[in-house]
């Protein structure tokens, strides 16, 4: 009878190993799935303030200058996602609020996610927002962020193609301000206009929607 007992013991051990391997695979798959971004449908995206275009749009090339004094063109928008905010450094409210929300959202991303996303402030006030001024302002929110400005006509054409409206408003004291749209424009890694996020901005919703859009791209 001893051989039969040994055989039974071996079968039990084999069964136990198979069960343990199966459980480990199930747990690994569960953890992997839990760590994957949730894919939102278009209604959920809109509820979180994000809109994806049915067909991403190409737009004209342009040449501006970043806060390091280097050329900034459409080539700088390829190879990763880009969030563009059209604003200006003298803006008293929505600009710093939006940049701060983008900074919190960006900081909470994983390292590989941050490598796949850049945040760009395009100034609509080139008269005051020189590269030097942008270099003082933009890195305050995050050292990875990029400040850009340039020729007023180039800015107008680019903003128009990306559905961003703005206008200069003269003030009674002789100064001026810029009225402008508050959306964050989303450019995909092909350099195409992919969609936008609408204010008010909450970093958790921004992170959720960007992860969903990135995962489904």
Annotated binding residue 153:
no
Q: Is 43 helix (H, G, I), strand (E, B) or coil?
A: helix
C-alpha torsion sign, points 193, 195, 201, 206: negative
DSSP 80: S
CB 78 within 8 A of CB 190: yes
Give the single-character DSSP code of 68: T
90 belongs to an annotated ligand binding site: no
**Is 194 annotated as contributing to ligand binding?**
no
Rg (CA), the chain: 25
Q: Which two tokens stand for residue 108?
A: 């909470």
Task: Please enumerate in sequence order all residues whose Cβ is within 8 A of that of 211, keeping only pairs 6 or more positions apart, or say none.
Answer: 37, 38, 113
CB 50 within 8 A of CB 207: no
Q: What residues are designated binding site? A: 91, 95, 180
Q: Give the residue ranges of the annotated binding site for Cu cation.
A: 91, 95, 180
């Amino acid at each position: 009878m001893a051989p039969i007992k040994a055989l039974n013991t071996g079968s039990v051990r084999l069964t136990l190993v198979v069960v343990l391997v199966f459980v480990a695979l199930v747990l690994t798959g569960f953890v992997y799935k839990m760590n994957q971004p949730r894919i939102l449908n278009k209604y959920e995206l809109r509820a979180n303030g994000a809109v994806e275009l049915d067909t991403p749009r190409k737009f004209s090339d342009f040449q501006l200058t970043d806060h390091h004094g280097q050329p900034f063109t459409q080539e700088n928008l390829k190879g990763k996602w880009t969030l563009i905010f059209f604003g200006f450094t003298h803006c008293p409210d929505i600009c710093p609020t939006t940049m701060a929300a983008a900074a919190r959202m960006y900081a909470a991303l994983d390292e590989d996610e941050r490598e796949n996303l850049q945040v760009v402030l395009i100034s609509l006030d080139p008269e005051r927002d020189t590269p030097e001024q942008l270099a003082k302002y933009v890195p305050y929110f995050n050292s990875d962020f990029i400040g850009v400005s340039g020729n007023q006509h180039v800015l107008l054409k680019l903003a128009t193609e990306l559905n961003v409206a703005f206008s200069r408003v003269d003030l009674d004291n002789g100064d001026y301000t810029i009225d402008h749209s508050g959306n964050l424009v989303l450019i995909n890694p092909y350099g195409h206009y992919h969609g936008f996020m609408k204010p008010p901005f909450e970093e958790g919703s921004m992170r959720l929607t960007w992860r969903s859009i990135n995962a489904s791209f």
